[in-house]
Amino acid sequence: MNTPDPLPTPDHFEISISVIAIGLVMTTIGLLCFLSPFTLLPGILIAGWGGSVVWFQYLATFRRDLHGALLIGIQCSLATLALLGVLGLWIALRYEFGGMRSVYRMATWIMFIGAIVAYGVWVTVANWRWYLVLRKATQQGLTTPPWRQLSIGDLMALMVMIGAVLGMMSFLFRSAAR
């Protein structure tokens, strides 16, 4: 039986919450980069990327927006490919300049970045699956058109996110002042 408005799986909800949390941390880091004139451009890029990750993931999962799902799928794919490229380049350069022993010395960091890449692949696959589910449901006419107005719940979630970013920044400022 076909039901309107397909719901994401609990796993996808968990992935979405973690992606939103990572996006909020990226936004905080980007805003902290505004403090120095030398890091203003990277700060704009990091804050913009993190903010768009939060917004697209929210649209895709909680509003079931097909375009949001497509855009977060593209963003996750680009980020994962960039991390995979950095990992491969780092291993190749370590091997080129230091030999295999140099690569072995960095094995812990290589495995850490490899775990981040594996997480990125997991998130990317989950977001593309959700996009395909939404696309199929949209083609069959099972989804309602996405609404463009903010509800009270949306505003409360936005306030919590702003509070989280300001709380992280306040903690970092207090820690740096000591």
The pLDDT, as a whole number, for residue 149 is 73
The pLDDT mean for the chain works out to 88
Q: Is residue 16 part of a domain?
A: yes
b/e burial code for range 114-142 (CB count within 10 A of at least 16 → b): eeebebbbebbebbbebbebbeebbeeee
Q: By residue range, what is the domain housing residue 79?
A: 10-142
Q: Report the C-alpha gap between 47 and 94 in whole angstroms.
A: 31
In a domain, 169, yes or no: no
Q: Is residue 163 part of a domain?
A: no
What is the average pLDDT across 64-75? 94
Is residue 160 a part of any domain in this protein?
no
Q: Which residues contact 67 (CB under 8 A, 6 or more apart)?
A: 59
Any domain includes 57: yes
Q: Is the pLDDT of residue 41 over 90?
A: yes
Q: Is the pLDDT of residue 57 over 90?
A: yes
The pLDDT tens digits for 141-165 are 887 766 667 778 888 888 888 888 8
Encode pLDDT of 112-138 as tens digits: 999 999 999 999 999 999 999 999 998
pLDDT of residue 155: 84
The alpha carbon of 111 is separated from its chain's Cα centroid by a whole number of angstroms, namely 20
Does residue 151 fall inside a structural domain? Answer: no
> Are residues 143 and 137 in contact, defined by beta-carbon separation less than 8 angstroms?
yes
Number of domains in the chain: 1
